[in-house]
Every structure is written in structure tokens, then in C-alpha cells.
Amino acid sequence: MTKDVGIVYHPDYLKHKTQPGHPERSERLQAIVDTLKRKGLLLHLKELCPKPAELQWVTSIHDSHYVERVREMCHRGYLQIDGSDTHICEDSYQIALLAVGGGIIAADAVCENAICRAFCCVRPPGHHAERSYASGFCLFNNIAILARYLQQKHGIKRV
């Protein structure tokens, strides 16, 4: 049986900690992975191992001062950034880069015809963040970064 669907997951995604009761928490991701394992579905998926995204892709969408501010606030142990809905911890910056990298590895696999489609089981999520502002639980806009990556790296005109 061919594995035409890829899955991006890394246990380090669980290191992005949020405060108790926050809706975006590691238990959600763990429940997805546990269910896929319990149902035997992982056997039918091609596992894709992410690596942290290169900063050039993150700063193609986000202001470099903002990216540095995220890194610094995580390093200093802040618990929130840009309001009360986006929680961070010391590991959040590196894990956010890993989440962006997860999308990139999935896109590369699809563009290289290694798989037909992919499910990116990543966190922190990444579609609400703005150019210079975290929002909606998101530090980086993984989706916008991935669209730019596809345009520049793979020559895809419309994403």
C-alpha cells in the first residue's frame, strides 16, 4: 500500500506550554496523535520529520524586529505576548520555528510528488499572527509564510 498522505508531527510541539484552561494546549495535539495510533491510522501515513524553519522565510512575512521580540520574550520567560490570548514559554520561539518548518517539509514533499497531501499536526498554530503582532494563539503566520515559500521556492504563482 502506498502512503499518499503525509503527517507532520514532532513531540517537541508539546513543549509549547500555555496556562491552565487555555483552549490551545498540548493535550489537544496529544489526543490527535493518540487517536491516530489507537486506530492504526499512522500505519497508512508517511511520517514527515520537521526541522526549524530558516529565518529568511519567517522574515519574508514578519518584521525582523517582531521576530526578535518573540525570541527575546520567550527567552526571558514571559507568559503572554501582545495581549492575553497568545501564551508563550521559554521554548515557544523554537517550537514556533519548528511548526513553520513542519509546513515547509510537507509542502516540499507534495511538490516533489512524494505524497499527494499532508496533515500538519503542529503547534503553536499559525494563521492569525500579523506582520508585527501575535494574535489568536499564533506567534508566526505559518500559512502566509508557507504561501510565500511555495511562490519563491517552487514557483507556484497562486496559492
Span 92-109, pLDDT tens digits: 999 999 999 999 999 999
Percentage of the residues of the chain whose pLDDT score is greater than 90: 94
Q: Which three cell numbers stand for residue 138?
A: 499564533
Cis peptide leading into 11, omega within 30 of 0? no
Which domains occur in the chain, in start order? 5-13+24-154 (3.40.800.20)
Mean pLDDT confidence for 87-95: 98
Res 33: pLDDT? 96
How many angstroms separate the most distant Cα atoms in the chain? 48
Catalytic residues: 128
Does residue 159 contact residue 151 with C-beta atoms inside 8 Å? yes
According to DSSP, the residues that pair with 5 across neighbouring strands are 117
Mean pLDDT confidence for 100-128: 97
Has residue 60 got a pLDDT over 90? yes
Beta strands (DSSP E) in the chain are 5-8, 46-48, 117-120
- What is the rounded distance in angstroms from the CA atom of residue 30 to the CA atom of residue 128? 22
Q: pTM of this prediction?
A: 0.95
